[in-house]
Structure 1
Amino acid sequence: MPRCLCGRLSLQTHRGDSGKEGRMCKNMSLLFLSGLCTLLAGCGAELSVPQLKGTVASTSNPLVAQYTVAAGCKGQAMVEFGPDTTYGRSTSWFPLAGAYKRTAILVAGMRAGTTYHMRAQAQCSADTLTTDDTTFTTGALPSAPAFPALKVTRPDPPQHNSEGPGIELIDTIGPTANLMQLYFTDRDANPIWFYNVDPGFYPFTVKQLPNGHFILSLTNPQQSSGSILREVDLAGGTVRDLSIDGLKQKAQTAGFDFEPAGFHHDLLPLDNGHLILLVNCFKDFTNLPGYTGTITLQGDAVIDLDQNWNPVWAWNSFDSLDVNRHLAPFLTNNVLDWTHSNALVYSPSDGNILISMRHQSWILKLDYNNGAGTGNVLWRLGYQGDFALTQAGVPTDDPSLWFSFQHFPTVIEQSGSNTTLGVWDNGDYRVLTNSGALCTIQVSTNCFSRATIFKVDESSMVADLSWEYLPGNLSVWGGSLVQLENGNVEFDLNAPFVAPAPDVASEVQEVTQTSTPELIWKMDIPVPMFAYRAYRVPSLYPGVTWQY
C-alpha cells in the first residue's frame, strides 16, 4: 500500500510567476496541497502504525472461544476477557507472523451460559495495538456426562484476599461414566473447562505443556492395551496419541531390557519438550520371603521421551531396589504390587528426578541429570531410608512421623543442598513404633492422614518435619498437596469421612501454614466420584496467573 505523500510534496513555481496572478495560483496550490495533506494524514496515520484485526467464534467446547487475530506487523498477541470491560483475565502471548496472517487463540476459562467481553492486544516493536471490544456468549454445559454438585465453604464473611490465586483442577475417578471426570473450576465451584474422557477410561493425570496444551494419561482397566498418552488443545481436540503398544515397539527398537506394560498415575513434562513417563513392568521371582513358588512382582519404570515421543532414557526399579522389601501384602492373582509408584517430580537445582513409591513408603532421587544421568538411586527419603529425621529441628526416632503410602510430593523451594518438599501423607500401614507395630486400615483406630512439609538437607542427610496438619480424616488413597502463592497449603483427601459428611467423596481444603492452621476455603466433591487429585493451578495458560 502507498505511503502518505504529504511529507514529500513540494510547491513548484515558475521563475516568471509574479504579481497578483502568480500569487493567486500559488495560494490556490497551497490550499489544494494543504487539503490533500489533511486528507492523506488520516491515511498516513493508519498506514504508519500496523492495524490489529480480530474476530471471535465458537468451538466444539461450549466453554471455549476461538479469537482470530491478524496484524500487519510481526510481534505477539494475547486476548483479555471478562464479564465486563475491565476484563480481568488473559491468555498467554502468542506469536504474530505479520502481513495480516491470521493467528488463532483459544480463549478458555469462562463459565457456561455467560456473556464475556473480549479484546486482543498486540506488541509489535514499540507499538502496542488493541482491537475494539467484542462479546462472546458461552454455551451450556453438557447434560451427559453431568457435572457433580460441588459445594464451596468459606469463613463468614468470605475472605477472598486470604485465598491463594488461581483455579481448581479436579481429576476424579469413579464407578460411573455418567459423571464428568476431568474439569477445572473457579474458586466458586463453577466449571470453566472440561475434557470428556473416552468411555471406560480414567484420567490418571493431566499436566500442562509449555505450549499450552494438556497431556493426559488415560487408562482403561478392562482392556489389556487400554493405556493411552494423549495431547489435547484447549478446545479438547486431539493433537497426538501414543498407545502402550506403540511405546512397547519404540522401547524394543531402543533396546530396552524391559517391556512397558501400561502408563499409570503420573507423567512429567519438561521445559525442553521431553516427557518423563511412569509405566508398569513385571518380573517373575521364586521363593521370595513370605511367599512360596513363583510369583510375579509388579514394579515401575521411568521412561524419557524426546519431542517426537521416542524413548531416549530409562530407569527400571528391578535394577535398583531390593525385591525382598514388602511393606504390605498386596497380592492379587499371584501378582504382588511391589512398588506402586504414583508421582514424578523434577528437581530444578540438579536436573534429577524424584519418584514417589507408595508401597515402599519412599521418595527416591534418581540420577537423571537432564537425560545424561546413570539412573542410580541417589537417596531414599522415608522410613528405613537414608536420612535422619528431626521435627522442628529436634532429632527424633519416632517412625510414625515419616510419611506412609504417600502421594504427590512437590518441590516448594530449593537452595543449595536444601529442598523444601510438600507431601500428602495418607498413612496406610504406617509404622507406629520402633517395635514395628502398624496402622492397619479398616482394623486399627490409630491411623491418620496428614498434610506435611519436609525440609531435606542433602549435605547433612537430615530431613526435618517442619510443618504438619491433621484434618481428622483418614484418606487411604489418592490425594495431592501444593503450597500456594500466598504461603497457604491446599490438599485433597478422600473418604472415609466421619459423620455428618457421608455423601462427600473428597474434600479439597486450603489452610494457613501456621502452627494452628485456619481453614480458608473448602470444596466438597460428592459421591461416587473421588478426586484422585485436586489442586490449584495459576490459570489455563502457561506463565499467567488469574487472581480470582
Structure 2
Amino acid sequence: MRMGSKQICLAALVTVGLGSILAGCHQSDHQTASETLSTAQIKKNLQPTMSQTRVKRDNRLADGYQTQAHRKANTLASPYVKLNPYQTSPLTALVAFTTPRATQVTVKVVGTSEKTTITHTVKGYQRHHQVGITGLAAGKANQVTLTAKSASGRVTTKTVTLTTKAAPKRIGQNTVKTSKPQVMALGKGNDQLTFAVSSLGLTYGLDTAGNVRWYSSRPIAHVFKVLKNHHLLVLYQSKNGKYNTLVETDYYGRIYREYDFKGVFPTRKDPHKTSANTVIHHDAIELPDGNLMLTVDDGGSKYVEDTMIELNRRTGKIMRVIDLKKIFPASAYTTYTATKRADGKVDWFHQNTIYFDNRRQQLLVSGRNQSTVLALDWKTMKIKWIFGSHQGWPKKYQKYLLKQVGTPFSWNGGQHAAGLIQTGQFTGNTERLEFYNNNVTVTRGAEKTSKQYSNGAIYDINVKKMTVRQKWTFGQSLGKANFTNIIGSSYRLNGQNSLLNFGYCESGKRSEFVEVNRKTNQIVYAVNRTDFPTGDWTYRAERLPIYLD
C-alpha cells in the first residue's frame, strides 16, 4: 500500500448505494479508446533497464570468496570468516575453508533454546567449502558450530563466534504474546522464520522467541519472494526514494540481476508535467517459464494499480501487458468514487495479488477496491469466475459470479493475499482459495459487519457448479482491535496451521502476526509489532526457510 493512496470509504456510498459503482446502465460495458492506453504505450512508459553495476561488484566479491575456499591456509581449524559478505545482510556470514578429504558440512547456529537453535546440512561432499551462515541473532556473540563429516564417518568440528550489532530501531518493538514452538510450523532444523515483509522499510525475520535473526539493511517495499532457483525476488528503494529497483538476490545480499524502472509519469492535474512514481506497487511472482509477472501502474495520467506486465527474466523486456480495464466493465473505473488519492488519480481496482495456477493455466488477481478475486484464463485473459458479492455487476458479467452455498457465509471486502492452496489435492472441479479478508466494504461486501473485524479465510469453489462454500475463518473473535482497513495476509503453513498478518491495526499504529491452528482456532504464536516509522507497517507475514540450498 503506497502512502499516497488514502483508502477512505465515502459517506456518499450510503446514500447513492453500492450498486451504482458498477451499474452504469446508460454506459457501455466496454471501454473507449480514449480511456485506456495502448499496449505499445504502456510498454514505452514502463520499460526497465538492466543494470550491471552491482551484479559485477558482487561477482568480484564472490570470486574472492571462491579463492579463499581454495587456499590451503584456510582450514576448518582456522577458516576464513566474513560477516555480512555482500554488505546488506548483517546477520549472515560466509565461512571458507579446505578439508583434506571430501566432507559434508552441517551448520548449527545456537539460539536461546532448542527451538531457536537452527541447524542446516549442506548438500554433497567436497573439499573446498564456502558455507553460508544465516540466522545469526542481532546484538549478540553468536556461537556457530561447523561439523565436517566424511563419507567414511570421520567427524571434525569447529566453533566460531560471530558478533553482530543490534537490530536497527526502525524495525520497531516485537513483543511475543504467545509462543508454543512444539506445535508451530518451523521446518527442518527450525530453519523457518516469521518474516515481516515491509510496506516501506526494513524486512526482517523472527524466531519463536521474537529475536531478529535476519534483516536487510536496504529498504524493501512489498515484494519479497522465494524463487525456484533458491534466490529471492526483492523490490528495493531507489536513489530518488521511490521503490523502483527490482533485484534477484539471496539472503546474503548478492545481486544476480537488477531491473531499474524510471517511474516518471504525467500528473493528473497537469498531464504536461511529470512526477516520480513507484512502478511495482504490491506484488510480483515467478511464472513457470521463469519470467516475472508484476503489478504496475500503466504510466498514464488517470488510472493506477490496474495493470500487469510479464517481464522476460533474462533480457528485462516487457513481453506482455494485461490491462484490467479491458476486462472489467467500463463503469467500474469511469464512475468510481469510493476512494480518493492525494494525486487525483483513480485507484478503482487497487490490485494487491497475482497468483498463477499452473495446473489449470489460470491467473488469479485480487482487487481491494472492487472487493473481488477473479480467475482469468492465462491464454485468452477471459474471465473464468468472479468471487465477491453480487452487488452492482452488469448483466453481462453475472454468469461469472460464484453463488454462495451453505452457512455460515460472509463475502469478502477489500481482501488481500489471495491464492489457491492444496492444488495437488484438489484436482477435480474443486479449487480451495485462501485469502486475508480485511472486511471493509469499498464497492461491495458484507455491509452489516464491515469494519468490525478482519480475518483469514478459506473457501471451496466448485468451478463446474459455479458455487463457493466457506470452509474456515479466523479473526472475528479478535474484533475491532485487529480490524485492518488496508493490507494483511493469510497463508496456509501445513495441514494444521495458518499464519495471519493483521498489518494495519489501530489505523497503522501496530501490526500483529498470528499463527493459528485451523482445527481448533487456538493461537500458537502471536507477536505484536509497535514503535515503527509511520508507513512501515508490515505488509505481509510469511514463514520462510532461511537455508534454501
TM-score (norm 2): 0.68
The answer to whether the 8 Å contact 2:413/2:444 transfers is: no
Q: 1:91 to 1:273 in 2, by over 3 A?
A: farther
Q: Secondary structure at the match of 1:150?
A: strand
Asked if 1:472 corresponds to 2:490, the answer is no
> Partners of 1:352 and 1:103 in 2: how far apart?
43
The code of the aligned residue for 1:542 comes to L
The answer to whether the 8 Å contact 1:268/1:345 transfers is: yes
The code of the aligned residue for 1:189 comes to G
Partner of 1:192: 213
Partner residue of 2:193 out of 155, 162, 167: 167
> Partners of 2:439 and 2:431 in 1: how far apart?
22
> Partners of 2:442 and 2:452 in 1: how far apart?
7
Asked if 1:513 corresponds to 2:539, the answer is no
> Partners of 1:189 and 1:335 in 2: how far apart?
40
The answer to whether the 8 Å contact 2:285/2:355 transfers is: yes
Q: Secondary structure at the match of 2:325?
A: helix
The answer to whether the 8 Å contact 2:167/2:212 transfers is: no
Partner of 1:4: none
Alpha-carbon distance, 1:456 to partner: 1.5
Partner of 1:66: 94
Q: Secondary structure at the match of 2:494?
A: coil
Partner residue of 1:426 out of 424, 428, 438: 438
Alpha-carbon distance, 1:344 to partner: 1.4
> Partners of 1:242 and 1:90 in 2: how far apart?
34
> Partners of 1:432 and 1:262 in 2: how far apart?
27
The code of the aligned residue for 1:171 comes to V
The answer to whether the 8 Å contact 2:369/2:442 transfers is: no
Partner of 1:388: 402
Asked if 1:491 corresponds to 2:500, the answer is yes
> Partners of 1:346 and 1:91 in 2: how far apart?
31
TM-score (norm 1): 0.69
Deviations 1:228-281 (A, max 9, x none): 212223222333321113999xxxxxxxxxxx9711111112464322211111
Deviations 1:510-532 (A, max 9, x none): 22213x62222210000344543
The answer to whether the 8 Å contact 1:228/1:263 transfers is: no
Q: 1:454 to 1:173 in 2, by over 3 A?
A: same
> Partners of 2:362 and 2:526 in 1: how far apart?
34
The answer to whether the 8 Å contact 1:111/1:138 transfers is: no
The answer to whether the 8 Å contact 1:115/1:135 transfers is: no
The answer to whether the 8 Å contact 1:512/1:518 transfers is: yes
> Partners of 2:278 and 2:509 in 1: how far apart?
34
Partner of 1:82: 109
The alignment yields a C-alpha RMSD, in angstroms, of: 3.7
The answer to whether the 8 Å contact 2:504/2:537 transfers is: no
> Partners of 1:206 and 1:307 in 2: how far apart?
19
Deviations 1:179-225 (A, max 9, x none): x6211111211111111125xxx5222112233332112357976x7
The answer to whether the 8 Å contact 1:365/1:380 transfers is: yes
Alpha-carbon distance, 1:64 to partner: 1.1
The answer to whether the 8 Å contact 2:439/2:450 transfers is: no
Which is further off, 77-86 or 225-234?
Answer: 77-86
> Partners of 1:83 and 1:111 in 2: how far apart?
9
Asked if 1:153 corresponds to 2:177, the answer is yes
The answer to whether the 8 Å contact 1:359/1:405 transfers is: yes
Partner of 1:181: 202
Q: 1:148 to 1:128 in 2, by over 3 A?
A: farther
The code of the aligned residue for 1:262 comes to V
The code of the aligned residue for 2:222 comes to F
The answer to whether the 8 Å contact 1:329/1:336 transfers is: no
Partner residue of 1:213 out of 187, 212, 231: 231
Asked if 1:310 corresponds to 2:317, the answer is yes
Deviations 1:58-90 (A, max 9, x none): 23244212133557889x955421329999634
Flag as ranges the 4+ runs of structure 1 deviating above 6 A.
71-74, 84-87
Asked if 1:323 corresponds to 2:330, the answer is yes
Partner of 1:242: 259
Structure 2: runs of 5 or more not aligned: 1-73, 187-191, 266-276, 391-397
Q: Secondary structure at the match of 1:336?
A: coil
The code of the aligned residue for 2:546 comes to L
Partner of 1:539: 545
Partner of 2:457: 452
Which is further off, 184-193 or 486-495?
Answer: 486-495
Alpha-carbon distance, 1:133 to partner: 1.5
Q: 1:88 to 1:221 in 2, by over 3 A?
A: closer
Q: Secondary structure at the match of 2:182?
A: helix
Deviations 1:44-69 (A, max 9, x none): xxxxxxxx965351232442121335
> Partners of 2:493 and 2:229 in 1: how far apart?
23
Q: 1:70 to 1:315 in 2, by over 3 A?
A: farther
Deviations 1:427-446 (A, max 9, x none): 2226788xxx947xxxx986
Q: 1:92 to 1:451 in 2, by over 3 A?
A: same
Q: 1:274 to 1:59 in 2, by over 3 A?
A: farther
